[in-house]
Amino acid sequence: MCIRDRDITGPVGDENNDGKLDTTETWTYTGTYVADTCEDVVNTARASATNPCDPELRIESLPDSITVDIFCECLKLTKTALNETVERGQDIYYNIELCVNKCNFDQVILRDVLPADVELVSVDPPASLSGHTLTWDLGNPYDRCFNAVVVVRVPIVNMSYDMEQGVQGEGFVNIHNDYDTHHEPKSITNCAYAEAYVYAANPAANLEANPDDNLKLMESVSSCASSRVVDPGTELKRREFGSGTYASEELTRVRMENKSIQSATSLSASHKPTTFSLPGGSSITYGSKWTEKSKGINYATGATMTEEYTFANKIDKERVVDLDKNGSTMKTDVTFTGTGHIGVLKKDEPDSHPKVKPTYEATEDYTGSFRIYEMVDEYGSNVRSEKDVDGYGYVAVDKHVSNNQRTYESGTCLLYTSPSPRDRTRSRMPSSA
């Protein structure tokens, strides 16, 4: 090892600052060296003196050496999750491997910090548990590997919600109701940490009372593993706003266990402007026509059902929506004057890309005065629909069954009646292999 002059400081101890080492003095020099390899460093020092009266007379001390152990990437920590995807109620298996190369440590600690959203099932070998942290004290695992298996479970969330309400009156109305059976998180990340310590000379430490005070951290590593939580749920979104007379009732039940949303609603609304007095003699007038929108999304089956009525002078409607992880049903009986839209989409697979052709798609648009009864039921790979429509105005209906069948009709009519007694559509989509 070679230390440059500029990396040496000293001497310390030249009490009379004469630059000469007196017999009563002890000089101390400090050298600094940055290790650039993983090999141990041997530091050797020698002292020599020259007679100022006779420069040829020179004496030299025996060498004195010290070896410094260089720790270089001694710890290798790997954590893997055997389940890349998991459903609620299932277990995630984690393998943890910590390898210590040929490095001498006095203490190696391995910790596994569990996410707050999981339940601990088992640990092998056993570890101490404090809060959400598992700890193994490995001592000095010189030149060997330690393996552990941790099993956690993503719990099933059992939450229920029931709501019943009724409103009637005259004025301006704005309603915004959303129901959602999704539950966070969408992924689980679990991290392990390893730390290696050596005992360092610390005269101020009380080793008997606090032995850890004399430990010096030499190296720390971490490793994380993630699993995606597959938890497709259902959503129901409702919007109502407008000015005039208004009466509505709603009965809704939400169950997280089977991702179900059941909603039965009735609405009777007639448009007319309403004026409200404000302080200072001013007033405000609302003249918005009625808008009523509903959208049910079933991520478990890949179905979406949409119903909208806008710019309406009058809406009288009863609707039942039933969504769960097995299927979706929508029944609606509505009379309106304005514009209406009903849409049904059934994806080829629940997670299909939007560019993939759906197995069933239907869109209906109406402008005028109509009465519509419609029922749509999807379960598994089946879709069933029934429809009964009469009224006058503009109509456009377009239905697709995969790439095999399509029906389309549009026009402006003084009187429009769908095939009697009801327009029935049944489609059976073969499951993909």
43 and 128 within one domain: no
Q: What is the average pLDDT across 347-352?
A: 87
405 domain-assigned: yes
**256 and 140 in a common domain:** no
Statement to judge: residues 119 and 25 lie in one domain: no
pLDDT confidence of residue 172:
94
For residue 146, the surrounding DSSP H or E stretch is strand 144-153
Do 236 and 213 have their domain in common? no
305-319 mean pLDDT: 96
Q: Is 5 helix (H, G, I), strand (E, B) or coil?
A: helix
Of the chain, the percentage scoring pLDDT greater than 90 comes to 52
CA 172 → CA 110, 291, 325, 416, distances in Å?
Answer: 63, 12, 37, 33
Q: Are residue 307 and residue 392 in the same domain, yes or no?
A: yes
Residue 271 lies in a domain: yes
Helical segments of 90-200, H only: none
Same domain assignment for residues 63 and 81: no
Tell me the whole-structure pTM to 2 decimals.
0.68
Report angle CA 309, 383, 359 to the nearest 5 degrees: 95
Domain boundary among 170, 203, 229: 229
pLDDT above 50: residue 421 = no
Residue 82, CA distances (Å) to 47, 57, 86, 87, 222 in order: 62, 75, 10, 14, 18
Tokens of 99: 């390898």
Do 286 and 274 fall within a single domain? Answer: yes
Within-domain flag for 315: yes
The answer to whether residue 216 is domain-embedded is yes
212 and 239 in a single domain? The answer is: no
- Residue 175 placed within a domain: no
Residue 174 lies in a domain: no
Q: Number of structural domains, the chain?
A: 3
Residue 167 belongs to some domain of the structure: no
Same domain, 17 and 86: no
For residue 409, what are the contacts with CB-CB under 8 A and spacing of at least 6?
Answer: 395, 396, 397
Of 68, 92, 121, the one marking the end of a domain is 68
Cis peptide before 141 (omega within 30 of 0): no
Q: Look up tokens 């593993």; give the residue.
A: 225
Predicted confidence (pLDDT) per residue in 239-282, tens digit: 999 999 999 999 999 998 889 999 999 999 999 999 988 888 88
* Domain membership flag for residue 178: no
- pLDDT recorded at residue 13: 83
Residue of 125 and 207 predicted with greater confidence: 125
pLDDT at site 5:
47
Q: What is the CATH number of the domain that holds 112?
A: 2.60.40.740
> 200 and 291 share a domain?
no
CB 234 within 8 A of CB 301: no
Domain ranges, residue 26: 5-68
Q: In degrees rounded to 5, what are phi and psi of residue 281? A: 80, 5
Q: Do 147 and 225 belong to one domain?
A: yes
Comparing 53 with 391, the larger pLDDT belongs to 391
Domain check: are 268 and 392 in the same one?
yes
Task: Report the C-alpha gap between 288 and 244 in whole angstroms.
Answer: 9
pLDDT at 360 over 60: yes
Please give the pLDDT value at position 351.
83
How far apart, in Å, do the first and last CA atoms of the chain sit? Answer: 69
d(CA 56, CA 90): 86
